[in-house]
């Protein structure tokens, strides 16, 4: 017959063996990666025309993104000619960021209507990363090192 100390010792040893046997040795790799996220799709698409002035801008990413880095480096704007022969001026159009639960889809909802009959740009700046710190890859397959700009034209 086993005494209480021996029983406790055996329970401890079997518990440790059970935990080791049930552990996922790949768990470390599943929680980190070195694969850069990609822009999968953009809507309205790059170069699209006749876009409604109250359209939301949607970006689908291949991996969950670090939302703070995306929002800090996301720049939507339109250009308008300057007065009296001045150059083109960029005008930011404000809006609200809405993310899917898994942070792989961004909906940018403009506050109010965008300018009609205008070219609108969405700039993805350097510094956008996924949850693991990997830099974003644009639609052409390049890591965004400065910026990547898409445009659409409103009706």
Looking at residue 55, which CATH number applies to its domain?
A: 2.60.40.1220
Alpha-carbon gap, residue 80 to 69, rounded angstroms: 28
Asked whether the beta carbons of 56 and 108 are under 8 A apart, the reply is yes
How are beta strands 147-154 and 48-51 bridged, if at all? parallel
Asked whether residue 54 is assigned to any structural domain, the reply reads: yes
CA-based radius of gyration for the chain: 25
> What does the pLDDT read at residue 100?
98
Decide if 29 is inside a domain. no
* Each residue's pLDDT tens digit, 63-74: 999 999 999 999
Establish if 26 belongs to a structural domain.
no
**Quick one: pLDDT at residue 28?**
31
Rounded to an integer, the average pLDDT of 90-107 is 94
Which residues form the domain of 44?
37-154
Q: Is the distance from CB of 138 to CB of 148 less than 8 angstroms?
A: yes
Average pLDDT, integer, range 115-129 = 94
Length of the chain in residues, anyone?
Answer: 155
If you average pLDDT over each of 19-23, 77-81, 137-141, which comes out highest? 137-141
pLDDT confidence bin for 27, thresholds 50/70/90: very low
In the block, residue with structure tokens 């942070």:
103
Which residues, in sequence order, are CB contacts of 85 under 8 Å at separation 6+? Answer: none
The larger pLDDT score, comparing residue 32 to residue 59, is at 59
Whether residue 23 is predicted with pLDDT greater than 50 in this model: the reply is: no
What global pTM score does this model have? 0.74
The total of structural domains in the chain comes to 1
Q: What is the pLDDT of residue 113?
A: 86
């Amino acid at each position: 017959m086993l005494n209480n100390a021996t029983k406790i010792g055996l329970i401890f040893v079997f518990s440790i063996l059970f935990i080791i046997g049930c552990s996922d040795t790949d768990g470390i790799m599943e929680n980190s990666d070195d694969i850069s996220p990609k822009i999968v799709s953009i809507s309205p698409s790059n170069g699209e025309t006749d876009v409604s002035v109250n359209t939301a801008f949607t970006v689908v990413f291949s991996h969950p993104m670090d939302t703070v880095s995306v929002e800090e480096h996301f720049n939507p704007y339109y250009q308008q000619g300057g007065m009296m022969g001045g150059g083109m001026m960029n005008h930011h159009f404000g809006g609200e960021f809405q993310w899917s639960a898994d942070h792989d889809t961004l909906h940018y909802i403009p506050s109010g209507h965008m300018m009609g009959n205008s070219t609108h740009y969405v700039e993805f700046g350097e510094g956008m990363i996924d949850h693991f710190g990997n830099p974003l890859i644009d639609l052409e397959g390049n890591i965004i090192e400065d910026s990547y700009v898409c445009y659409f034209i409103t009706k």
